[in-house]
Structure 1
Amino acid sequence: MERLRRRRLLRAGGLAALASVAGCSAPSGSGGDGDAGDASESDDADATSTDGSDAGTRVPTPTETGGPRPDLDGADVALEPIASGFAAPVDFVAPTDTDRRFVVDRDGRIWEIGDDGRRETPFLDLSDRIVLGSERGLLGAAAHPEFASNGRLYVRYSASARAGTPDGYSHTAVLAEITVDPDARVAGDPQERTVLEVPQPQGNHNAGAVAFGPDGYLYVPFGDGGAANDVGRGHADDWYDAVDGGNGQDTETNLLGSVLRIDVDGRGGVPGSDAGADKPYAIPADNPLVGRSGLSEQYAWGFRNPWRLSFHGADCYVADVGQGAWEELNLLESGGNYGWNVREGAHCFRRDSCPTTAPDGEPFVDPVAEYPHDGGDVSGISIIGGHVATGDAVPALRGAYVFADFVARGRLFAVDPSADPPWGIRTVPVVGETDLAQYVLGFGRDSTGDLYVLTTSETGGGGTAGRVSRLVAP
């Protein structure tokens, strides 16, 4: 592969059963999603790259958030109940130029929430075309920037194996365009167009979020294909012989372990080229692999399970779930290689030393923040990505990126990109009668910039215990 000039985005153009609901790695020995039992084989917190690199050593400069800087010292929040009765709410959609709020439930339904909570009838019901179990289901959705006029939603779901999916694979991951009446309270007769199908060898590490960037393109993350260590059925052979695998370091065999960037308003692959002439989407001409070796849809790679991502201005925050030792938060870069499975976070994976660059000479992109599975209050088992708060509901958090671990333990996390130095993770206690003794599955941000947290208290990923709460000042 030619040496790539990486650019910041747009600057140049049981518990384990529940863990599977959130795209999470289970604790060591708990069984369940394929990660369990592998923590003992992972490097511990002391195994770092040979050059001593650590998270935050090489930090991109984020877009200025504007407004007062967040005062994270001593900040805490309360939760205002908004809606309940969900199975496993995993995503939140607030279409541009509307005041509407939709909640994506893993069981296949999308609900609208109003001032009086969840409406009685789902806005959109896709339950007849999805498969559940492990980390499968309806995993994410995004509204087209012009949803208010064109009614187009883009959804990620797990379907039964379709044509082209090899025998023995778990399922087919589908990205679909659903066109609805944007003014209707119930979608009625939605029209579906399949945009992308990706064979999935295992039932886990599916990622699932989708998001439109300010460039109008759709960003679609995919995990490494599942199981543990990025090896096994459906995992490519890569250049790194010290650890077998894998899809994270392969850009030519499949689309797994990557964040894709596609133009859903176009057709026919790369404009002005015969490459992908039959594709039901276009590929931006400035994607980093266009005209080079590799699959041109890929914008960045080296990910394990980027369960949630979100935009704030030109910055795209990608939360990548680790295996047994480290959880990481990244800023997306064009052509960036985020290191899996050479590294987990900024640390060598299963080895005492490891390369700090890919074969093309490009250095791996360090996470801007990371936290361990063991040690102190800033720890956990699976990072759940959130959003930058821009609303007035919690002034102390305005401008901060707010996220969580799957096992909440009564607190959220936040980082202040504008701090000096930036990116130190702070805990944000959740206080009051609705304290966060819950499992966190996702976050949302509405048209005013206020944040919502999506939770459940059940350990099976089903039932009706899922709820949505707004973050407010105590």
Structure 2
Amino acid sequence: MRNRISPSALKHTLLALLMLFTVGLLASCGGHDDDDDPPPGATTGSLAVSISGLPAGVNGAVTVTGPASYSKLLTASATLNELAPGAYAVTAANVAYGTGNLAATPASQQVQVGAGTSASAGVAYAATAPLALALQEVASGLQGPTFLTAPPGDSRLFIVERAGRIRIVANGSLLPTPFLDISSRTTTDGERGLLSMAFHPQYASNGYFFLYYTDLIGNIVIERRQVSAGNANVADALASVQIIAIPHPGFNNHNGGLLSFGPDGYLYAATGDGGGAGDPAGNAQNTNVLLGKMLRLDVNASTIAHPYTIPAGNPFVNMTGKRGEIWAYGLRNPWRYAFDTTAQLLYIADVGQAQREEVNVAPMGQAGNNYGWDIMEGTQCYDSASCSQAGLVLPKVEYGHDSNGGCSITGGYVYRGTALPELAGHYLYSDFCSGWLKSFTYSNGSASAVTTWNITNVGNIVSFGQDAQKELYLLGGSGKVYRIVRKQ
């Protein structure tokens, strides 16, 4: 009987013959020959980078660059493999640690990597002297300076005087002619006056800036103004649009005072509770009035007929008995607040009643927060032995009215400038009465690294300021303005 080959066996035989034919064809045509392969790594090299001296949880900053546009950032020791032969630069940057620096040695070195070999480089970090701060006077002879700011990308400083004038420091000199003078429209009675200003994010193209002041009868007024067409150092005295006027009857204190544009492009304003001890009118917890609040307004298409609209994301939009302008409430006298766009956080320094001063910290996009006044003063129940804290946002930092504390917090900014890299991420604040300078960092829901800086003999600290380069300033009750700098 003749043996028959099954279809399956025949298929495998044909595949084997095809593979043998292909291999022979490739060999005859000069194809790949495994016998000629170099040993693994024979055409490349490796570089072992050792990084030492870093405390636990602190990252280094070592960059390795080389042939073929190679670039690698290392935060800890590592071995880099399959590197093309050639010269590699190892550059190490200092890193911030606490209020000091960890310095890298050497700062730069060059290492030759050869084919089939392993090279090495070492970087050691060591602590340098901790950062010390000093104050550099930039202006004097001012009449009650209350605020300092600058348009985006501008080298000038704009300083607000409480009596109603805005002064300019240009090229280190205080210009004699005010940028704007509205002294006939405000008063310095009590805590009243011209309290702050804010430049529109597109100021360079539209020339708009906004004022926060109290008028002659005490109402809080937010107003749009415009720079003159022919002189960048003088505002147009006639071009104005009133955005909103908020009644503030009965008392001449607790006016709030800060106006600023948030990173969302909307205009924010922080108002006081209306004055008097203990919020006698109950304004801060009343969401049908605009006192004791943070407001958020859309002013990007302001006209006299329609000076603002209410952003759709505001928490009380179209709610009966509630004002849609409100972003947050339960504030006593939030004289100063600050956005930190790097960490996406909002800091509100709220002046206390008689015992506690506080700093509140919350995500920038968190709407409808109730910061507790007058249920709470800081983390303590106000005017009662116990109280319900349900739904309240309590402060992250507070201090008392004692010999080591103060009487009225002056909120500042999170440092994001370049002159003092060790200070990056620190929120700076002061106290009007005590005049000290302190800071803390904030992460994972809590404050840490609380630091008292050796700043003395400044007197009353009225406000902080920030220029276009994000360097920070202190405004003193003596009429002087100081830049915060490194102590030499």
TM exceeding 0.5: yes
8 Å contact kept, 1:301–1:338:
yes
Counterpart position of 1:329: 359
d(CA) in 2 for partners of 1:229, 1:131: 25
Counterpart position of 1:63: none
Query: 3-state DSSP class of the match of 1:148?
Result: helix
Counterparts in 2 of 1:311 and 1:190: CA distance versus 1, 3 Å? farther
Counterpart position of 1:247: 283
Of stretches 317-326 and 393-402 in structure 1, the one that deviates more from structure 2 is 393-402
Match of 2:224 among 164, 177, 197: 177
Counterpart position of 2:311: 284
| Structure 1 residue ranges without an equivalent (≥5) | 1-66, 162-170, 236-245, 269-276, 358-362, 458-465
Quote how far apart the aligned CAs of 1:228 are.
Answer: 0.6
Counterpart position of 2:156: 100
8 Å contact kept, 1:70–1:400:
no
d(CA) in 2 for partners of 1:283, 1:320: 25
Quote how far apart the aligned CAs of 1:69 are.
Answer: 4.7
Task: Map 1:346-357 to 2 at 5 A.
Answer: 346-357=379-390
Write the deviation string for residues 23-77 of structure 1: whole angstroms up to 9, x where unpaired.
Answer: xxxxxxxxxxxxxxxxxxxxxxxxxxxxxxxxxxxxxxxxxxxx95562375431
Using the aligned pairs only, state the percent identity: 39
Quote how far apart the aligned CAs of 1:392 are.
Answer: 3.0
d(CA) in 1 for partners of 2:369, 2:427: 21
Write the deviation string for residues 254-312 of structure 1: whole angstroms up to 9, x where unpaired.
Answer: 201100000011459xxxxxxxx965201001100013241000000000000011212
Q: Are residue 265 (structure 1) and residue 300 (structure 2) matched?
A: yes
Task: Map 1:129-168 to 2 at 5 A.
Answer: 129-161=185-217
TM-score, normalised to structure 2, is: 0.70
8 Å contact kept, 1:68–1:399:
no
Counterparts in 2 of 1:72 and 1:442: CA distance versus 1, 3 Å? same
Counterparts in 2 of 1:438 and 1:301: CA distance versus 1, 3 Å? same
What count of residue pairs does the alignment treat as equivalent?
357
- In structure 2, what residue type is equivalent to 1:178? R
8 Å contact kept, 1:413–1:425:
yes
Counterpart position of 1:402: 428
8 Å contact kept, 1:80–1:469:
yes
8 Å contact kept, 1:210–1:309:
no
Q: Are residue 300 (structure 1) and residue 328 (structure 2) matched?
A: yes
Query: 3-state DSSP class of the match of 1:289?
Result: coil
Quote how far apart the aligned CAs of 1:417 are.
Answer: 1.6
Query: 3-state DSSP class of the match of 1:87?
Result: coil
Write the deviation string for residues 129-161 of structure 1: whole angstroms up to 9, x where unpaired.
Answer: 112210000011110001111111110111123
Quote how far apart the aligned CAs of 1:214 are.
Answer: 0.6
Task: Map 1:219-258 to 2 at 5 A.
Answer: 219-231=268-280, 235=281, 246-252=282-288, 254-258=289-293
Of stretches 144-153 and 411-420 in structure 1, the one that deviates more from structure 2 is 411-420
More strand by share: 2
Counterparts in 2 of 1:158 and 1:81: CA distance versus 1, 3 Å? same
Match of 1:450 among 464, 467, 471: 471
- In structure 2, what residue type is equivalent to 1:157? Y
- In structure 2, what residue type is equivalent to 1:282? T
- In structure 1, what residue type is equivalent to 2:141? G
Counterpart position of 1:10: none
d(CA) in 2 for partners of 1:195, 1:188: 17
Quote how far apart the aligned CAs of 1:369 are.
Answer: 1.1
Counterpart position of 1:374: 402
Counterparts in 2 of 1:70 and 1:422: CA distance versus 1, 3 Å? farther
d(CA) in 2 for partners of 1:346, 1:71: 27
Query: 3-state DSSP class of the match of 1:392?
Result: coil
d(CA) in 1 for partners of 2:237, 2:208: 13
8 Å contact kept, 2:315–2:324:
yes
Quote how far apart the aligned CAs of 1:187 are.
Answer: 2.0
Counterparts in 2 of 1:141 and 1:450: CA distance versus 1, 3 Å? same
Query: 3-state DSSP class of the match of 1:128?
Result: helix
Write the deviation string for residues 191-242 of structure 1: whole angstroms up to 9, x where unpaired.
Answer: 11100001112110001110100100001111100011100xxx2xxxxxxx
- In structure 1, what residue type is equivalent to 2:484? L
d(CA) in 1 for partners of 2:204, 2:367: 30
Counterpart position of 2:480: 467
8 Å contact kept, 2:148–2:159:
yes
8 Å contact kept, 1:224–1:303:
yes
Write the deviation string for residues 306-328 of structure 1: whole angstroms up to 9, x where unpaired.
Answer: 00112120322111000101001
Task: Map 1:52-67 to 2 at 5 A.
Answer: none
d(CA) in 2 for partners of 1:340, 1:420: 21
Larger of the two Rg values belongs to structure: 2
8 Å contact kept, 2:131–2:486:
no
Quote how far apart the aligned CAs of 1:347 are.
Answer: 1.0
Counterpart position of 2:254: 205
- In structure 2, what residue type is equivalent to 1:385? G
d(CA) in 2 for partners of 1:140, 1:307: 10
Query: 3-state DSSP class of the match of 1:113?
Result: strand
TM-score, normalised to structure 1, is: 0.72
Q: Greater relative contact order: 1 or 2 (C-alpha under 8 angstroms, separation 6 or more)?
A: 1
Query: 3-state DSSP class of the match of 1:336?
Result: coil
Counterparts in 2 of 1:113 and 1:219: CA distance versus 1, 3 Å? same
Counterpart position of 1:217: 266
Match of 1:84 among 127, 140, 149: 140
- In structure 2, what residue type is equivalent to 1:105? E
- In structure 1, what residue type is equivalent to 2:323? L
Q: Flag as ranges the 4+ runs of structure 1 deviating above 6 A.
A: none
